[in-house]
Structure 1
Amino acid sequence: MDDVDLDAIRAAAGRIAGHAVRTPLLNAPTLDAAFGRRIYVKAECLQRTGSFKFRGAYNTLCQIDGDVVAYSSGNHAQGVAHAAQLLGKRATIVMPSDAPAVKVANTRGYGAEVVLYDRAGESREEIGERLVSERGLTLVRPYDDVRVIAGQGTCGLEIADDLPEDVTEVIVCCGGGGLTSGVALALEVRATVIPAEPEGFDDVARSLRAGARQTNDAATGSLCDAILTPSPGEITFPIMARLCAPGLVVTDAEALRAMALAWQHLRIVLEPGGAAALAAGLFHHDGDVAVVASGGNVDAQVFREALSDL
């Protein structure tokens, strides 16, 4: 039995109403014509803090007394920092030293204290637990928390409301699985959810094939920094194993191409990790589909690279 359910997602929708943005489900006839099918894009890049992460962060912090700590490469960091700012809490965020500069700057801009660490040589989990012990903070995990999953699932409720009835597959950018599992629960009787991951960091796809949680050998090595996680979550994986179709894997080049097409046809800005589902929908899927464009916090240099072939 899942530790989070549709009732929890609906309760989360009530908590975040008026605080989170109800993002649009976009469709561009020119993009449809180019690929010969309908492609719907849930534009979470237009969410507060530039990604879906604000949903889960706000839903969780509403239910926590006192100040918080989180670890993140950037999008969860910003979501927690801004939710804490709105709720009058202090946030300490543990971020890798190689995180995109725009994400570090924005996290500080929302009033959080940023603690940098070496992604290759230090454990963010150990640093987070030390701060919990030393400062009496509450840890807000990036995906393996039922409150976070329920908050992310509100994205799925909105997709269910807006998606044409005859479109029954939704591709979701997937790291640890908080968004994927939440959307899968929200859409359980409506659509099949397909995880999308970067090449070399396809722990969810491999885990779904194996029927048990797998890990990635590397911690870095893809432009899709937002969805580089060591393994699926203990809570998220059983949900994905029960509800999700086999995962799809995209290259960095495909993610960059999807970013360019999103800008060309939809006029939205995506980061590589946030474009993984669109890349999977365009280059590894046949038929009508909806995809979640999960974030748009991209450094200018990477965005210029994406647009260079237009």
Structure 2
Amino acid sequence: MTKPIPLQRRNINASQLVLGCMRLGGDWNASSPITAEHYKEGHEALDAALEIGINMFDHADIYTAGKAERVFAKVLSERQGLREQIILQSKCGIRIGDGDHPHRFDFTADHILNSVDGILERLGTDYLDILLLHRPDPLVEPEDVASAIHKLKASGKVRHFGVSNMSHGQIRLLQAYSDEPFIVNQLEMSLHKIGFLDTAVSVNQEAWRSNVFPEGTMEYCRLENVQLQSWGPLAQGRYSGGSLEGQSQSVVQTAAMVAELAEKHGTTREAVVLAWLMTHPSGIQPVIGTINPQRIRACKDAATLRLSREDWYRLYVASRGVSLP
């Protein structure tokens, strides 16, 4: 029997795979119109996701300048009763630079509250299942965040809260001021971005000094039942058919090993790459960022594919390019 992931242990009926909606709506130019083709892409991506059992969808207010949420809203509106069957997650806190204003992060209460109102309007829904704070704001006042969270929860606009790209220390600071638990932390983790593992195996090793992944974050999230989500889990296709021109020898060797395991298990390379990530005992939720229906369907076997410890380590060591300490 598959071990439930942290969200499921909180009685949130989430699939282990999440469809990331960052590419819906075309380019990131706010003035570019949403076209019929964009809506068609949205329908096809949603069909493919539902077909393989995905019921959770990840957004952010900045994705394609808000167009991703609008496309999803239109597609969702044409499927009666589906809103209550899926889990919608979005993010706020990044402000794109414009004119005299720099690219910046903003966790002020006013910005969070206004952002959620905008998200709900664009998604055409009156509530979010989960809101994530997108990137750490160094000027954060945790009392301000707690105030916004209290208002959003009391109003019914947001049911659950989480963060993205944060260390356990940053989560603990926010949590100290909020009665609502932070139940998600979304970080870049994949067979290519292996810092989350190297942090553990490099303790008391010189190599640890150059690892940017925050030490102790994996352990904190496991102890506190925080759902770890992975953005970029397919590693931009490096190991599942993407061009290997100019790639390092370790990437080439890892890609060959993924192909070998896919053939061995009678599945796709995408499934192997995701299954490797999902083998980690923390119950990682990969957020697949493609809206290509064929690639989405190629992920189908990921949740049921079982890699041996030996094959898991073979892939990890191959990706490292050097032996373990």
TM-score by length of 2: 0.28
Could you state the TM-score of these two structures normalised by the residue count of structure 1? 0.28
Higher relative contact order (CA 8 A, sep 6+): 1
